[in-house]
Chain A
């Protein structure tokens, strides 16, 4: 157990639907990062939050949004889902803004049918 909790572990949904992925960071970590791993792809950075504020944005589609709550858990919202959104979504946390060695959760596998 890395200390970073992601739920659900698996999600199957239809095209056009909306889903929410949840992440609880390791205790004491203020930064949360979201990454997407598609088939045969590396980990693509989506977005970073630090203590509730958005800090950096990567290749995140407009259909996707995220937030970090006062208790530091984060949610990634994916809407108008397409088949190509099927991927592993990882959350990671780190203790400082500077990051360094992240701690990753075990991921949420999203399948869009």
Chain B
């Protein structure tokens, strides 16, 4: 049961243009969403996050949008740079007060972003 899905395995964009990475989820109990970036031979690094009570969060060139009714979130990178080329993972957290699911993150399969000079 894939609760977090990234349906595009790869995305290729030109330097300076916008990159849009998409993510869909099925679990209504997710309360927090995150994007991670991963370079080869390194662990994923945290990029940006958004609480389920918000619909947008911006940090420099990176903006995450959340559409709760559609259970969809997206990461926009503007402008894209060659150094942004990496695998991007969408993740969602289930916070269960009194339960045993504290902090567990469910990840999508990742999207390989390639930014061409």
Contacts and interface: CB of A to CB of B under 8 A. Distances in A.
Contacts of A70: none
Q: Which of B4, B32, B100 has the most CB of A within 10 A?
A: B100
Interface of A: 2, 4, 31, 33, 35, 40-45, 48, 50, 55-58, 90, 92, 94, 96-107
Contacts, number: 78
Per CB-CB distance, the 6 closest pairs between chain A and chain B, nearest first, are A99-B103, A104-B43, A42-B109, A43-B107, A97-B102, A101-B46
Contacts of B4: 42
Contact of B44 (A50, A58, A104): A104
Given A48-B102, A97-B102, A103 B107 contact: no
B32 A100 contact: yes
Interface of B: 4, 6, 32, 34, 36, 41-46, 49, 89, 91, 93, 95, 100-110
Given A2-B43, A90-B43, A58 B49 contact: no
27 contacts: A31-B103, A33-B103, A33-B104, A40-B109, A42-B109, A43-B107, A44-B107, A45-B105, A48-B103, A55-B100, A55-B102, A56-B102, A58-B104, A92-B43, A94-B103, A97-B102, A97-B103, A99-B102, A99-B103, A99-B104, A99-B105, A101-B34, A103-B46, A105-B43, A106-B43, A107-B42, A107-B43
B104 A100 contact: no
Contact of A42 (B32, B45, B95, B108): B108
Given A33-B104, A33-B105, 8 more contacts: A2-B45, A35-B107, A40-B109, A42-B4, A48-B102, A48-B103, A99-B104, A101-B34
Contacts of B91: 43
Contacts of A105: 43
